Structure 1
């Protein structure tokens, strides 16, 4: 079974649970193991919260006040991308560094959490257009569902 969807959301806290619920419902429909669904929904929530907080200037332009979430469930893989129009990731984050002191800060743990919950994570900047965090995970299905474990 393949499921693909994309959301264009306002940079508001209320958008985060909407994206999370759609992902959980999609994975439930596909028969994904609930533990994996939960992990990916937490990772998605963190990516969305990051886009809401850092994803653009506070301008009246709706394009700058929005972010995009895209999810692909195809076979035994789920890939999620969250793109915003903010300043982008610092160079040390894109190179996989900048994580050592996050445990000492009150915020900033979300990207590290995504890295722990997903199988592969990629941070990239789109020059002049914001940042994208993409992550994927191999899925495991519940017994008797459309999704077959490999």
Structure 2
């Protein structure tokens, strides 16, 4: 079984629950275990919130006010990508596209929010990549997780 979808969303807080509900509905329909669905939906929410908060270039162009979410349920794995048109991850600027971990191993307990979303994504997913897009600019957060299925799931992977 293979399912994929892609959304082009405005950088607006209201877009975050929209993406989350679409992912949850897709996984529920496919028969993915609810705990796995929940983990992925929280990770997606954090990635989208990051794109909404940091993903603009500050210009008036249309792409500066948008970000893209793509989800793939393919076989036994779900892969999610969130791409924005912002300045990218500061730790990666000036480097070739490569995956790194810009978030600390543990968020600073004295810091209310910074870094917690990226840390949560790393804890909830099996594999995580943070890259800056070369040329066009922007950040891409991609992560995947091995799926577990409900008993008698309607779209169980073959």
After TM superposition, the score normalised by the length of structure 2 is: 0.87
Aligned ranges for residues 20-35 of structure 1 at < 5 Å? 20-35=20-35
Farther-moved stretch of structure 1 (78-87 vs 52-61)? 52-61
Partner of 2:88: 88
1:47-100 CA-to-partner distances (Å, cap 9, x unmatched) read 0000000001343322110000000001110000000001111227x5325414
Classify the secondary structure of the residue corresponding to 1:63: helix
1:18-47 CA-to-partner distances (Å, cap 9, x unmatched) read 000000000011100001000000000000
Partner of 2:96: none
Classify the secondary structure of the residue corresponding to 1:86: coil
How far apart, CA to CA, are the structure 1 residues paired with 2:132 and 2:112?
Answer: 25
Count, aligned residues: 149
How far apart, CA to CA, are the structure 2 residues paired with 1:54 and 1:126?
Answer: 15
Aligned ranges for residues 80-119 of structure 1 at < 5 Å? 80-91=80-91, 95-96=100-101, 98-99=103-104, 100-108=106-114, 109-119=116-126
Partner of 1:139: 147
Classify the secondary structure of the residue corresponding to 1:135: strand
How far apart, CA to CA, are the structure 1 residues paired with 2:102 and 2:69?
Answer: 25
RMSD of the alignment, in Å?
A: 1.8
Q: Which runs of 5+ in 1 are unaligned?
A: none
Rate the CA distance shift 1:115–1:131 in 2: closer, same or farther, 3 A.
Answer: same
Q: Which runs of 5+ in 2 are unaligned?
A: 93-98
